[in-house]
């Protein structure tokens, strides 16, 4: 499975694997909600959303950025 290996390499190069996982989960939700798939070899991206998202990230079609000073819980009132 080439997309899994590509995601593994991306995770190894990432400074924050948690944020990578969040970005991938967000893309999976978008695909399941009908977003267009950027990888033509995936037949049904709504059914195979995880495989499609992994393939998109592995091929570098989806990028994500995070601010170093921004926290996941920012905006949550305690």
pLDDT digits (tens, 9 = 90+) for 21-67: 899 999 999 999 999 999 988 888 888 999 999 899 888 898 877 66
Tell me which residue range forms the domain holding 14: 2-58
Q: What is the Cα–Cα distance from 2 to 55, expressed in whole angstroms?
A: 8
pTM greater than the 0.75 cutoff = no
**67 in a domain, yes or no?**
no
**In the chain, how many domains are there?**
1
pLDDT over 50 (residue 20): yes
Q: Please give the pLDDT value at position 65.
A: 72
Q: Please give the pLDDT value at position 67.
A: 61
Quick one: 22 exposed, middle or buried, by C-beta within 10 A (0-12, 13-18, 19+)? middle
Residue closest to 24 by CA, chosen among 48, 47, 49? 49
Residue closest to 6 by CA, chosen among 65, 59, 63? 59
């Amino acid at each position: 499975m080439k997309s899994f290996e590509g995601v593994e390499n991306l995770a190894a190069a990432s400074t924050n694997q948690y944020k990578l996982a969040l970005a991938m989960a967000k893309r999976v939700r978008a695909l399941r909600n009908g977003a267009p798939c950027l990888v033509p070899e995936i037949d049904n991206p709504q059914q195979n959303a995880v495989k499609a998202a992994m393939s998109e990230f592995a091929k570098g079609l989806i990028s994500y950025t995070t601010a170093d000073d921004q926290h996941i819980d920012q905006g949550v009132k305690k």
